[in-house]
Amino acid sequence: MQLLLFESSRGVPSFIQSVLGAGATLAVSVSGGKDSDAMLRYLVSTHSAKNWTGELFSLFCDLGRIEWPGVFEHLHRVCAELNVPLTKLYPKRSMIDEWQQRYETILSKQQEKPFWSSSAARYCTKHEKTQPADKLLRGHQFVVCAIGLRAEESSARAKKPRYQVRNDIASVWYKTPKSYKSAEEKERWAEQAYQNWLDNDRKGRFALSWHPIHDWSLAEVWQQNGTSCEEVARRSALYQLGELKQALQGFPCHWAYVSSNSRLSCSLCVLASSHDILNGTQHNLRTWTELALMEVTSGWSFQQGRWLLSLASENIALTLAKEKRLLKVLCALQLVQPVNPIFFLSLICLCKLAQLAFWTEEAVVAIAHQLRIYSIPD
């Protein structure tokens, strides 16, 4: 049979329209960040307007205690507003536990090499997000997974195809050949593979990854979320002045953007800018303490050439006091949920006393003070 040709256009490519119009499930990968928020809002509206009949749901991979506070609460609120089911997934180990496990494995083998993930070793994305998502998506024979990557973010992302076969879960007959390297080749193969799947009477699983907002600008992202670059800047200025409630109330995205973070990934991310690393440290002191301790123990810096140890606050107690004040405002605005006492009871049953003691305010202050005077290795 002659191959169907699909024209590209800004918005939903005609090929993707054809696939979703044929009843494919649409799984929207969300993180709580502005890009995936905008993508979800856009796709819910588009799904309804185009009368696509396949199932639509969102999926979130929880990375554990390295997440920014309030991420799940934010996602729950957005999905409730849009009337979209939210599926929460968990990796085999949380991100911090994965780093710890890798360090212990390297140590047991008497090797000397870094264990942190990096741009050259992005196992964090594969193990913590992609694999749990794929496990769920294998339950669908005909599925499109939407991911909120934008070309404007980096040169590497600019080279990504708008859509391609999701090789890890697609049946063997439809996987993209390894010789296909360019975005154009991968897109053409996806179209050919879809035709092959139809010709084979829909035998096996056909799965795609799609980047719906690949060509969007930052201004378009904020606009889709119901705000603007100027409004975010105005709120950030109020936040820096200590007007927390006024800055945060009614903001449609996660509060970390108002605190001046440019992206929302892990609260301390190995790929983050120096600004976001510092901001993450100032707002997540316990996470910083745990990771800085891992630096001291291992002798390897969190980022190449950049030690978390170097970001220690001059006044640890003041940093914690600011965190506590912020938490009260976040709880009052229902941007984070107060910790349920039942959680503490279950924690006591599961953890050793020494582990629980680490999270007391006194312990964090004492450890952080010691880390502040620790000499950074050459």
The answer to whether the CB of 210 falls within 8 A of the CB of 16 is yes
DSSP alpha helix (H) spans, the chain: 14-21, 34-49, 71-82, 95-108, 123-125, 131-137, 155-158, 183-199, 218-224, 229-240, 244-248, 274-283, 285-298, 316-332, 341-350, 353-358, 361-372
Quote the mean pLDDT of the chain.
89
Dump pLDDT digits (tens) for 21-60.
Answer: 999 999 999 999 999 999 999 999 999 999 999 999 999 9
Report the C-alpha gap between 143 and 251 in whole angstroms: 33
Tokens 């997934």, residue located: 89
pLDDT band per the 50, 70, 90 thresholds, residue 354: low
Report the C-alpha gap between 31 and 332 in whole angstroms: 23
Total Cβ atoms within 10 A of residue 140: 19
Greater confidence (241 vs 372) lies with 241
Predicted pLDDT at 315? 66
pLDDT band per the 50, 70, 90 thresholds, residue 112: confident
pLDDT band per the 50, 70, 90 thresholds, residue 314: low
pLDDT band per the 50, 70, 90 thresholds, residue 286: confident
Tokens 């105005």, residue located: 234
Predicted pLDDT at 5? 39
Least confident of 2-11, 216-225, 282-291: 2-11
Predicted pLDDT at 345? 57
Q: Which long-range contacts (CB under 8 A, 24 or more apart) does 298-307 make?
A: 298/103, 298/115, 299/377, 300/114, 300/115, 300/116, 302/116, 302/268, 302/270, 303/116, 303/118, 303/270, 303/277, 304/118, 306/274, 306/277, 307/376
For the chain, the domains span: 14-210, 229-372
Dump pLDDT digits (tens) for 99-109.
Answer: 999 999 999 99
Dump pLDDT digits (tens) for 124-133.
Answer: 888 889 999 9
Report the C-alpha gap between 17 and 22 in whole angstroms: 8
Q: Which amino acid is at 5?
A: L
**What is 14-210's CATH topology?**
Rossmann fold (3.40.50)
Q: Is the pTM of this model over 0.85?
A: yes
User: Which two tokens mark 339?
Assistant: 């910790």
Report the C-alpha gap between 20 and 53 in whole angstroms: 8
**Mean pLDDT on 235-243:** 97
The percent of residues in the chain predicted with pLDDT above 90, rounded, is: 72
Report the C-alpha gap between 248 and 254 in whole angstroms: 9
The percent of residues in the chain predicted with pLDDT above 70, rounded, is: 87
**DSSP states along 251-281:** -SS-GGGTTT-S--SBSS-TT--HHHHHHHH
Dump pLDDT digits (tens) for 321-338.
Answer: 888 899 999 999 999 987
Checking if the pLDDT of 6 tops 90, the result is no
Radius of gyration for the alpha carbons in the chain, expressed in angstroms and rounded:
22
Predicted pLDDT at 357? 58
Q: What is the DSSP letter of 65?
A: T
